Amino acid sequence: MTEALQDKYAPHSICFGCGPANEKGLRIKSFAEGDVYVADFTPEPYHHAFPGMLNGGIIGALLDCHSNWAACHHLMVKGGLDAPPCTVTADFHVKLRRPTPLRRVHLTARVTESTDDRAVVESELSCDGEITARCKGTFVAVKEGHPAYHRW
């Protein structure tokens, strides 16, 4: 695929992490490669934790939003839907293995379990081929009436 999931399915989203329409956000671009979801991200200079290293909160934000897109796209494909259901994060658990340099990072995510309306996603963040953080999260498709319904 050549178009990011966010651009294809949620061009007007204002989400801080992944909304194409949030000019001050991180604007993550996630792509499906079979059942693996990938993204590359270049941090801003002010995303540091300390000189030269990426902040853990930003790492969490990247892994959370990227995993959420893995979840909703997976549920779309699984359910034979025309568009991804609006999923929200139930929880995410970030393990920081070592400092992450403040330069281009790579994200991968895989759905490891799912039902019709929720998915568990395991993801990794790496820099220069070295995994610096891992995450596991659960993402749930919301029903009509939830404030996130029709968010994209």
For a copy of itself, the binding residues (CB under 8 A) are: 13-17, 22-26, 44, 46-53, 55-58, 60-62, 64-65, 88-96, 99, 146-148, 151
Cβ closer to a copy of itself: 47 or 74? 47
Least Cβ distance, residue 10 to a copy of itself (angstroms): 10
**Residue 102 neighbours by CB distance under 10 Å:** 22
Residue in 60, 63, 88, 74 with CA at minimum distance from that of residue 32: 74
Residue 130 to residue 123: CA distance in whole angstroms: 14
Quote the tokens at residue 139: 């993402």
Closer to a copy of itself by Cβ: residue 111 or 139? 139
In one-letter notation, the amino acid at residue 27 is R
Closer CB to a copy of itself, 43 or 111, in the complex: 43
CB 10 within 8 A of CB 19: yes
**CB closer to a copy of itself out of 94 and 111:** 94
Q: Least separation, in Å, of the C-beta of 50 and a copy of itself?
A: 4
**Nearest approach, Cβ of 14 to a copy of itself (angstroms)?**
6
54: left (phi over 0), alpha (psi -120 to 50) or beta: beta
